[in-house]
A and B are shown apart, each in its own frame.
Chain A
């Protein structure tokens, strides 16, 4: 009980916070703890399980699929993150400076992330179809060779990254736009008097001032990107071969296609640890760039 509260206030406090506590335990703490527990066990085909200690984790280290998943996850993470930040910042600057863009056009520009990822995935699947899709039609009409897109082991990661960027760069833009709008206007006037060109103002003033906002956007996108699932599940299901088999997709297949729940849980715990470390590192970066 907090000091200064009498019994009845204490009871009231407990009653009021109980729903939140129960919800948190039921929805977050229990699944996490249960998954950790599952990760230490091995399941037979009859559903019986036995404690195997760190066996699932040692198996992970020897599993080529795991290392491939890790590589795919990080390749996709870094490529998508860079693309989304670059386009997001560009789009935000465009929205911030353009007085001509109508409200409707602004809404349209930021609408992709309101679309369910499954719908976005289906839409791009059609567009990128090697023989029927619009993408190759456009390439060919420009005199360029057609691409296999999602069917190419080389191009599948960049293609998925582009789809995700199409969907999520506007989200980054919206966050960055909020940051831009809160920057003090007099600082820009001071820079104007100091004689900074627009390019110099962007590089020396806007970008450093926006860094904390950009890192915040990166944190939010990191959590999603490291757990990349939906668009891949719709478009490639980890293929061709295992070229887009992220850790999350791999874990899903191990758990729900091969029913190796213990191993899948160990995979998911490892992935969660990776996400946690990434977020902690980015948070540290955010305090480093705060002004």
Chain B
């Protein structure tokens, strides 16, 4: 068990800078998720922590030990790979026992650890099978078992759910979360899926271009995104963004004259004398308000019933907008509905820098 401390870490591949300079503190026993779009440097960062990739500058500490230049095997970490990276010629048992054997553990000790991990992951019936005789979900568990038996200081997960089908992904996601609560070990989980990030993390690191956009608890990142990128990346469907311009004593949507967006009071002070800004409204923060005089009417052009909710798409001020409505509303394509934005829930961003204004 250990904290992780990263100080001014940089990574270059030749001339290409992947991570320009990054600081990060992960507490002991914390479950941290690195999330971001492809190419944001999240997997590279994880591989640097693992010791599979050398860093170009900066320092990494696992616990109190500086691990720059320490080989992966000496960092006391375990990693679950995207493609599981099981040894295809070994049985499940041997896959899990291999690392313990290399540490010179005795047979009975190895056996005890492997069987305990297998029990935890419900893979006892497969111990004598080879990976090719297992399903994707079972392989995934074996990969986790291989990590667990080593009882490492830190668990690293590199997009371990991306090769599973949707149903299995939800199941394994819940299992990993339960496991993290049971094992109480520091865990870093890399994903491009913001749902995974939101549901599993104690804290989320949102990355873009090798830089941390925001680091915080899931609800913090969701409710108070640091910038427009985070606001757009976290939340599904994504937040709707509209350009706004100063009009009189307030702001109006650009492209929809007279429509006054609900700029939160807190943001008004921050906006100062700014003429242009961006307002963001999450799909769930549109209210169906047929009787509200401030509501605006839109024509529905696409309906996506999800069961628990229904998503409706419409055009608002030239922006393709998504709103989440009660499924009992049973909206139809072509129908006119009146919506109002929920007061106090809108987010305002600097148009140039994307920084949140609040």
Residues on A with beta carbons closer than 8 Å to the beta carbon of B72: 189, 192-193
Contact status of A193 and B102, CB under 8 A, knowing A187-B87, A209-B88, A209-B89? no
Contact with A along B64-84 (1 / 0, CB 8 A): 000000011110011101110
Residues on B with beta carbons closer than 8 Å to the beta carbon of A204: 98
Beyond A189-B72, A193-B52, A291-B132: 6 further Cβ-contacts under 8 Å?
A190-B86, A194-B146, A196-B102, A205-B87, A291-B88, A291-B89
Residues on A with beta carbons closer than 8 Å to the beta carbon of B164: none
Of the A-B pairs whose beta carbons lie under 8 Å apart in the complex, a sample of 11, sorted by A's number, is A186-B81, A187-B86, A189-B85, A190-B87, A192-B71, A193-B50, A194-B73, A194-B98, A195-B103, A196-B98, A208-B89
**Contact in complex: A189, B52 (CB < 8 Å):** yes
Q: Is B130 an interface residue (CB 8 A)?
A: yes
Residues on A with beta carbons closer than 8 Å to the beta carbon of B99: 193-195
Residues on B with beta carbons closer than 8 Å to the beta carbon of A184: 83, 85, 88
**Contact in complex: A190, B79 (CB < 8 Å):** yes
Least distance between A223 CB and chain B CB atoms (Å): 27
**In the bound complex, CA of A196 to CA of B103 (Å):** 9
The chain A residues found within 8 Å of chain B, CB to CB, are: 184, 186-187, 189-196, 200, 204-205, 208-209, 211, 291
Q: Which one of B73, B103, B132 lies within 8 Å of A193 (CB-CB)?
A: B73
Most chain B beta-carbon neighbours within 10 Å: one of A186, A189, A193, A209:
A193
**Contact in complex: B103, A291 (CB < 8 Å):** no
**Contact in complex: B102, A194 (CB < 8 Å):** yes
Least distance between A276 CB and chain B CB atoms (Å): 29
Residues on A with beta carbons closer than 8 Å to the beta carbon of B79: 189-190, 193
Contact status of A190 and B81, CB under 8 A, knowing A195-B102, A195-B103, A196-B102? yes
**In the bound complex, CA of A208 to CA of B150 (Å):** 24
**In the bound complex, CA of A251 to CA of B89 (Å):** 43
Residues on B with beta carbons closer than 8 Å to the beta carbon of A196: 73, 98, 102
Residues on A with beta carbons closer than 8 Å to the beta carbon of B82: 186
B131 and chain A: residue at smallest CB distance: A291
**In the bound complex, CA of A189 to CA of B50 (Å):** 10
Contact status of A193 and B89, CB under 8 A, knowing A291-B130, A291-B132? no
Residues on A with beta carbons closer than 8 Å to the beta carbon of B85: 184, 186-187, 189-190
Residues on B with beta carbons closer than 8 Å to the beta carbon of A291: 88-89, 130, 132
Residues on A with beta carbons closer than 8 Å to the beta carbon of B71: 192
**In the bound complex, CA of A195 to CA of B76 (Å):** 10
Residues on B with beta carbons closer than 8 Å to the beta carbon of A189: 52, 72, 79, 81, 85
**In the bound complex, CA of A192 to CA of B132 (Å):** 22
* Residues of chain B in range 98-148 having any CB-CB distance to chain A below 8 Å: 98-99, 102-103, 130, 132, 146
